[in-house]
Amino acid sequence: MRKILDNLYFGTALIGATFIVIIGLLICAQVLGRQLGVQVKGADELTAWSVVAAGFLPLAYTFRNGRHIRVTLIIEKTGKFKIPAEFLALSAGLYFTGYLTYSSIDMIWDSIKFKDQTQGLINLPLWIPQISIPIGSALLATAMLDDLFNLLRGALPSYSLAAEHEDRVDSHTE
């Protein structure tokens, strides 16, 4: 199961990175188009949708690798209460991420139910550009739940393991 989840997190991070490349290509096309007097139709909409996908799809991967901003400054100062503080932080994160997942699924359901269409030059069902939000937030919630279970079993959360690994690598390169 660990390998499946890690591959899923990595795969969505790659898809998110692909959307960053798409953003760059769209910007280059618009700049070149201006020089040639050609308008790249729909580039603004495609860029906006790509920004959302690039922001949400890699969330779980970056979380698992310790790249999210966390409250470690506060948690490190709790001393013997570090585990309960970590549990509280993960639980709060899981709650809010779960609520985001629920709300974004509800948003997509409404878009499908009411047959909402995108506005602008590109006309698509609205749920298509919205789909990266519940996918990314659901995977982040899964990663948080995974770390919560690890913490309850007495193991370190993934982001702590990643930080320890990074510290070891940094100490060897100095």
Helix or strand run (H / E) with residue 51: helix 43-56
Q: Which residue shows structure tokens 């030059």?
A: 121
One digit per residue, the tens of pLDDT, for the chain of length 174 reads 889 999 999 999 999 999 999 999 999 999 999 999 999 999 999 999 999 999 999 999 999 998 877 767 788 888 889 899 999 999 999 999 999 999 999 999 999 999 999 998 999 999 999 999 999 999 999 999 999 999 999 998 888 887 777 666 656 666
Q: Contacts for 107-111 with beta carbons within 8 Å, 24 or more apart?
A: 107/133, 108/133, 108/134
User: Whole-angstrom Cα distance, residue 71 to residue 73?
Assistant: 5
Write down the pLDDT at residue 131.
Answer: 98
**140: Cβ–Cβ under 8 A, 6 or more apart, which residues?**
59, 60, 63, 97
Could you tell me which residues come within 8 angstroms of residue 12 by beta carbon, excluding any fewer than 6 positions away? 57, 58, 60, 61, 135, 136, 139
